[in-house]
A = this chain, B = another copy of it.
């Protein structure tokens, strides 16, 4: 398939709307992605034609829903190249996925064990480990970041020891867009026998990840970040680890037998999918993955890279504009401030021009503390954005700066 940006934009109903009298320019893609019609239609189709609770149902509609749900699991397995489909656990999102693992390792770690977290983490990736460590007495070590926004790999090497049981790092930092050297981190950590969880929430809309090649132990993502519905995400885990971890939540589906004395847990993936899952959400998740593959991750990468270059070049011409994490090694995110102007003010004015950006800490306060700032303006592009939109951003930003100086 060729990459025709105009055609692609037609896939997204929301891109037709106006905001404050201007065409809507959505540059908040790192917060959540917009949804193509095919994903929306898959939800409508489910609810209008074959909505039913899944598994254990003997009637036709329940079978249809179950088949669609499980076929989404297979699409996702194939996309990420997981070894088994039961290594793909559906969750309500990355936050849930990470908490599930943190809960699972609570009883597998002992006081004095160490876990290493990168200094670029989203809150979702910090707080669950703090909560876990409070319970089992493990210790958190932090890989420091550098001015470029990249992690200091040599400090990471020094932090590793036989006490290291777990390493947690995001694939791509949401605040800055930096792509972390996860393959290097995984291999190094494995030399010490540590388990590695990679948070792929920011990565999976931009690049195709081959989990077996990466040899990562756990990988997470949220459907809403990659053109899928809200309220659904994935936890990939190597079978070995998923079998070792105790279940997170109790409920229907995850049970093989229940009496008031004793309960036997079901097999993977059901052991971790307690209760009625987000059936429509999972189906939409599968559809989103299929859609992105139809567009093609090569095309996505090319287009996004050229948007990033174009925008970076333009923004850098603005006096006093400082980009944080100004590395080449990143996806289509630009996090910046202009002189002493507060990010909130810039965001508010850009909104008046129909432009959606994110301002603030981006759930990554430690990064803000590092740069000693209260927040940034973050623009984040997706494959459906255009250079014309960047031109509008540029002009509006100049106006905002004039008004706010």
Contacts and interface: CB of A to CB of B under 8 A. Distances in A.
Interface string A234-275: 000000000000011111101101111001000000000011
Interface residues of A, number: 93
A8 interface: no
Interface of A: 13-14, 17, 19-20, 24, 26, 28, 31-32, 34-35, 39-40, 43-44, 47-53, 56-62, 92-96, 98-99, 102, 117, 119, 122-124, 126-131, 140, 142, 222, 224, 229-232, 247-252, 254-255, 257-260, 263, 274-281, 344, 347-348, 350-351, 355-360, 363, 365-366, 369
Contacts of A279: 224, 230-231
A59 B355 contact: yes
Contact of A252 (B56, B259, B260, B363): B363
Given A28-B59, A57-B358, 7 more contacts: A24-B61, A40-B48, A95-B252, A102-B250, A117-B260, A231-B277, A258-B366
Q: Is the interface of A mostly helix, strand, loop or mixed?
A: mixed
Contacts of A363: 252, 255
21 contacts: A17-B49, A28-B57, A31-B52, A31-B53, A32-B51, A56-B358, A58-B347, A92-B275, A93-B275, A123-B255, A123-B258, A124-B250, A124-B274, A126-B250, A127-B250, A127-B263, A127-B274, A142-B260, A222-B275, A230-B277, A258-B366
A207 to B, nearest CB: 21
